[in-house]
Structure 1
């Protein structure tokens, strides 16, 4: 029994092109403000990655070492609370605010892996 790779090549190319077309169309979709908010508010990072793809850039919020000195307050806590992880993801040109006009940048702020805030920017 001989294996002929060329018989399977057209099928492999078709499957690969459909997979890449699906990824490209997900990233190319333009949402209205309301569509975007209703689709992504409160969603997890996994859902956002599946729907929007990889962000253009990411930032992680870090508490400065001398924060208590600047604010004049110290947080003692009850010892039971878990640290809060804040992360910002940025996407470009995916939300429209008028016909043929999109926001330059969209910021998704994640609080413990869920979207907690959405901001649209044109001045960055």
Structure 2
């Protein structure tokens, strides 16, 4: 009987240690990228792909065309067709520009659900 209890105790301890260490063995989510890695990973990707990899952005901005846009550019603006949907997403401290420092702000610009522009800033 004592042998049976020792066996159960050892099996329980082994199972507990495996369950505690299992999350540690999972693939860690990448927290920083080099400029080239970030451009290759997210350039021309959809919003859903970016959100899946990076999570929701800290801030989102919707682009709006001014009511007097044709006066500003000096020609009539196009009226036909559906207008483009432009949205900017902002992330912080994801891209390294040297081994110890990261850009403060990363801006991804989406036009019609595709990332068409990526900008890195330290002055925002």
Residue 44 (structure 1) aligns with? 46
**Alpha carbons 2:39, 2:118 under 8 Å: kept:** yes
* Superimposed CA distance per residue, residues 42-99 of structure 1 (whole angstroms, 9 cap, x where no aligned partner): 000000110000101011110011112222211245x3x3210110000000000001
Change (3 A) 1:34 1:76: closer
User: Structure 1 CA distance, aligned partners of 2:78 and 2:43?
Assistant: 31
For the aligned residue pairs, the C-alpha RMSD in angstroms reads 2.0
Extract unaligned runs of 5+ from structure 1: 1-13
2:70 matched residue in structure 1? 68
TM-score normalised by the chain length of structure 1: 0.74
Greater Cα radius of gyration, structure 1 or 2: 2
Consecutive aligned runs of 4 or more in structure 1 exceeding 4 Å deviation: none
- TM-score when scaled to structure 2? 0.74
Aligned twin of 1:112: 112
State the partner residue of 1:92.
92
User: Size of the alignment, in residue pairs?
Assistant: 102
| Corresponding position of 1:54 | 56
